[in-house]
Amino acid sequence: ERAFGSGGSRPGEEWMPAFRETAIRKKIRRKWLEDLAIGVAGDARPVDLQTWEELDLYCYRVAGTVGLMMMRVFGLEEETAEPRALDLGRGMQLTNILRDVAEDAAAGRIYLPAKEREEYGIRRDDLLRGRPSGRWKEFMSFQVKRAREQYRKAEPGIGQLAAGGPRLATWLMRELYAGILDPIEESGYDVFARRHGLALGQKILRGAAVLVRRVGGFV
């Protein structure tokens, strides 16, 4: 609400006028900011999502809204690009969730839907103890495929961004986040022993691949 108001900044909020001006100039919708605030506030409480629909809504609030706002910051206003921005945000947040299963469970937050867990025989208490039960690998394989599908669906929207910085930055972000799924998969979906990520060399290789495609006119 304050981001779109006309009042001055409070102590510690000296950035607010500049943010307000940018939000208005870039046509960032108030609803996106409100939904983001709702999503972030929800993380302060214990979480145990029950359905895919609940998880999808959470992904929209904490990541899809950011994708929509970045789309506007990068100068893309076509509404046809909005679903693709949501796809990218969804893919990135699903990746975060899969990487951070153990850390989130220890903090009382379980984002993987209970109904889907039940289908694979995975018990909530085992997640809290860091000992996956049931058909864990099949379950995680399904989740990884779902996340990768979001990245794939996002690609046409990235192509709508202006060539150069905006498009290149978004491709890099997509490649680095999608790449986190590889070590998760290669570990046999053991997200309890360690927090998976790309090594510096892997990040450099993925970034170089994006730059090569840019030079070749594919990005």
The reply to whether 42 falls in a domain is yes
Domain total of the chain: 1
The reply to whether 20 falls in a domain is no
The reply to whether 118 falls in a domain is yes
pLDDT at residue 143 is higher than 60: yes
User: The tokens of 43 are what?
Assistant: 């993380």
The reply to whether 205 falls in a domain is yes
Percentage of the chain lying above the pLDDT 90 cut: 68
Instruction: Catalogue the E-assigned strands of the chain.
Output: 47-48, 109-110
Distance CA 190, CA 140 (A): 9
CA distances from 10 to 6, 15, 22, 127 (A): 12, 10, 18, 42
Give the type of residue at 99. Answer: R
The reply to whether 15 falls in a domain is no
The CATH number assigned to the domain holding 179 equals: 1.10.600.10
Q: Are 191 and 184 in contact (CB under 8 A)?
A: yes
Interval 9-59: pLDDT, tens: 566 666 677 888 888 888 899 999 999 999 999 999 999 999 999 999 999
Predicted confidence at residue 19, as pLDDT, reads 80
The reply to whether 119 falls in a domain is yes
Phi, psi of 48 (to 5 degrees): -150, 85
pLDDT at residue 6 is higher than 60: no
Distance CA 10, CA 172 (A): 36
The reply to whether 70 falls in a domain is yes
pLDDT at residue 61 is higher than 80: yes
Predicted confidence at residue 37, as pLDDT, reads 96
For the chain, counts of helices (H) and of strands (E):
12, 2
Predicted confidence at residue 3, as pLDDT, reads 59
Q: Are 151 and 174 in contact (CB under 8 A)?
A: yes
Distance CA 88, CA 173 (A): 10
Burial class from Cβ neighbours inside 10 Å (0-12, 13-18, 19+) for residue 124 reads: middle
pLDDT at residue 215 is higher than 70: no
The dihedral of CA 50, 100, 168, 186: what is its sign? negative
> Which of the residue ranges 49-53, 142-146, 169-173 would you say has the lowest mean pLDDT?
169-173
Distance CA 134, CA 120 (A): 6
Confidence of residue 102 (pLDDT cuts 50, 70, 90): very high
Expressed as residue numbers, the domain containing 127 is 30-215
Kindly report the pTM of this predicted structure: 0.87
The reply to whether 11 falls in a domain is no
Q: Are 48 and 114 in contact (CB under 8 A)?
A: yes
Phi, psi of 187 (to 5 degrees): -80, 0
